[in-house]
Structure 1
Amino acid sequence: MTEFRRVGLSTGVTLNVAFAGPEDAPAILFLHGFPESHRTWREIVPRLEDQFRLIMPDQRGFAGSDLVQDVGAYKTETLIGDVFALADTLGLDEFALVGHDWGGAISWGAALRGDPRLKKLAIVNAPHPVVFQKSLIEDADQRAASQYISAFRAPGFDKAIEAMGYRAFFDKTFARHVGTSKILEAEKQQYIADWSQPGAMTSMLNWYRGSRVVVPPPGVTVPLPDWLLRAFPKVEVPTLVVWGMQDTALLPIQLEGLEELVEDLRIERLPEAGHFAPWEAPDEVANALRDFLA
């Protein structure tokens, strides 16, 4: 059974957190991405809750958590800080981290901190920052697929979504990738209700606006950012990457070169799944996570 608690963090935000599984079982923090919530994991919970303590926050700016409006509150280091502040508040001596989409991006960054409490890392369709930034500059297909990021960053785009209607936005950003047959109407209504809260779309889009990733326009030659030219630390915790190979937003090129950036890497490819693999292929995702995290 899933229970909910509002948890105040030392980083200044209060998160809505879902919990499932035995309290004395190994702790797993699950981080969702855009444009979701803890509900990303709704099909994973019944498949893992017998074995693990599942901790699933709505991240800052989403759903039932604080909808912070200041774009400066969405810097990568701040978002990573929320992860460890949540672990502090819950008194976790050790935990594993599972992240999808933006949650995966933050999970990569969290692993690079070298905090000894973080024992394992699992990523679902979320690119390593080095591979992603290089691909945006060097690969025409990934650059084209990522132009939506520039649109999301544009001033007033939140108002454009409001004018479009959240149901239409759902169809364009979520159902287009998952397929309406896999989404119950009640789930759709919950997402629309979350997005319809005052300031919610602004806070969600601030994840893109606060990021320093460079997305050049098509056909423009730009140099690699300075931070890519320096030595980049390896991820040292054991890492599983689960990838829906039909992802049209984050292409399979994101798997290339990972072995040079991760000390202990396992990759599980899901040939029939796309970007929202936890919804599209919950059995495959849960099985991969169980085998890795056990």
Structure 2
Amino acid sequence: MARLLHNLLLFTVRLALKIRVFGYWSLIYSYCALCTCIALLKLWWNIILRPSKTFQWGIRETPPACLNDTSLGTHCYVRIKESGLRFHYVAAGERGKPLMLFLHGFPEFWFSWRHQLREFKSEFRVVAVDMRGYGESDVPASADSYRLDYLLTDVKDIVEYLGYNRCFLVGHDWGGIISWLFAIHYPEMVTKLIVLNCPHPSVFTEYCLRSPSQLLKSSYIFFFQLPRFPEFMLSINDFKALKCLFTSRSTGIGRKGCWLTSEDMEAYLYVFSQPGALTGALNYYRNIFSFLPLTQQDVKSPVLLLWGERDAFLELDMAETCRLYIKNHFRLNIISGASHWLQQDQPDIVNTLIWTFLKEGEGRKTYRN
């Protein structure tokens, strides 16, 4: 009898877990369907208003001159033996100086760190990477190739290939997510962690689950789960949606900071108009639910978190909550009037705050080594 009751209880628990998982995924795909319907309505409206321009897009054949600006550094390539992938990066500063590694977000590439490459090459070996699936780095075709463990291994392998066993890690947006998790899983390899407009992954998970406003701001994540259709919507009308991310009044750069020049914008359009470029970038999102919920792990490295007050994608309250997951020195700077694209929007302020953080306390001795 006791065995029967035990088996019945075990069956009930397993059934409850399956129902919970089913409900979780049903909610995700229902919301995904809603986002798709909204996107289709927008597409239909564009076709009615401007039918000749809606389906206009094409590959940019010639890179703009700014991508070959020698003041930013040297273009280099590395093929990682374990994954077999070739990575592109831009490096400046003397070899042997402490490594400062920059990881970009979506939809960006190494060029988003142009202001920081110029600024920090005097004291560091600065390296801005095109992450897996972006820019001139290899673009694996399978969505499964963008799993979290692969992305973290990429960073580890690149640091070691460059001849270092630790670095100052700087990440923005998706690069911020990877930076947080790299500092958690490889604490011995991160001297100091600098994150721009990206909360600790556990904070993001908690806010999405209990904050309707954050869930609404993150609705694009659900839309990006669809195959092919998001790529189509981002590229129609000569990549209008992509342009709007960087230039619109609600989400764009330049309300109180640096404007994105027409040549800068062409650099982005050149990169993301190449075959497969949007798919590689979107595949990060197509694996996001395999990352979440993450175990609540603490960061042991000193952390600087920079946050644009005008971020249209993330709740400002998340920034302060990150303090709960940091077991070392933590500095938070919220920059008034700045957008999500912080390092391009307010480069002078960002660079000054990073310098201050690098030279604080014991960190000053470390970064000189």
TM-score (norm 2): 0.72
Looking at CA atoms only, which structure, 1 or 2, has the larger radius of gyration? Answer: 2
- Structure 2: 5+ residue stretches without partners: 1-70, 360-369
RMSD: 1.7
User: 1:66 is paired with a residue of what secondary structure?
Assistant: coil
The letter of the residue matching 2:269 is I
Task: Report the equivalent of 1:222.
Answer: none
The letter of the residue matching 1:29 is L
User: 2:275 is paired with a residue of what secondary structure?
Assistant: coil
Q: Give 1:174 shift.
A: 1.9
Q: Is the 8 A contact 1:21 1:54 kept in 2?
A: yes
Residues 1:178 and 2:264 aligned together: no
Q: What are the equivalent positions in structure 2 for 1:1-294 lying under 5 Å apart?
A: 1=71, 2-9=73-80, 10-156=82-228, 157-166=230-239, 168-176=240-248, 177-179=252-254, 182-212=259-289, 227=293, 232-264=296-328, 265-294=330-359
- Structure 1: 5+ residue stretches without partners: 215-224
After superposition, give the CA deviation of every residue in 1:38-95 in whole Å (9 maximum; x if it has no partner). 1111112222221111111110111111122211011111111100010111111321
Q: Give 1:259 shift.
A: 1.8
Q: Is the 8 A contact 1:145 1:248 kept in 2?
A: yes
Q: Which stretches of structure 1, 4 residues or more, deviate above 2 A after TM superposition? A: 159-165, 169-172
Q: Is the 8 A contact 1:67 1:199 kept in 2?
A: yes
**Counterparts of 1:24 and 1:290, CA distance in 2:** 19
Q: Is the 8 A contact 1:133 1:213 kept in 2?
A: no
After superposition, give the CA deviation of every residue in 1:93-140 in whole Å (9 maximum; x if it has no partner). 321100000000000110111341221111000121111011111111
**Counterparts of 2:235 and 2:185, CA distance in 1:** 38
**Counterparts of 2:150 and 2:318, CA distance in 1:** 24
The letter of the residue matching 1:209 is R
Task: Report the equivalent of 2:40.
Answer: none
Structure 1 residues 138-147 or 41-50, which shifts more?
41-50
Change (3 A) 1:46 1:254: same
After superposition, give the CA deviation of every residue in 1:18-47 in whole Å (9 maximum; x if it has no partner). 001122221111000001111111112222
State the identity %: 30
User: 1:257 is paired with a residue of what secondary structure?
Assistant: helix
The size of the alignment, in residue pairs, is 280
**Counterparts of 1:155 and 1:114, CA distance in 2:** 33
**Counterparts of 1:270 and 1:12, CA distance in 2:** 40
Q: Give 1:141 shift.
A: 1.1
**Counterparts of 1:79 and 1:35, CA distance in 2:** 16
Higher helix share: 2
Structure 1 residues 284-293 or 57-66, which shifts more?
284-293
**Counterparts of 1:242 and 1:162, CA distance in 2:** 31
User: 1:165 is paired with a residue of what secondary structure?
Assistant: helix
Q: Is the 8 A contact 2:304 2:332 kept in 1?
A: yes
Q: Give 1:213 shift.
A: 6.7
Q: Give 1:12 shift.
A: 2.5
User: 1:286 is paired with a residue of what secondary structure?
Assistant: helix
Q: Is the 8 A contact 2:233 2:241 kept in 1?
A: no
The letter of the residue matching 1:193 is Y
Q: Is the 8 A contact 2:133 2:280 kept in 1?
A: yes
**Counterparts of 1:83 and 1:111, CA distance in 2:** 11
After superposition, give the CA deviation of every residue in 1:161-208 in whole Å (9 maximum; x if it has no partner). 233432x12322222221497111111111111111111111111011
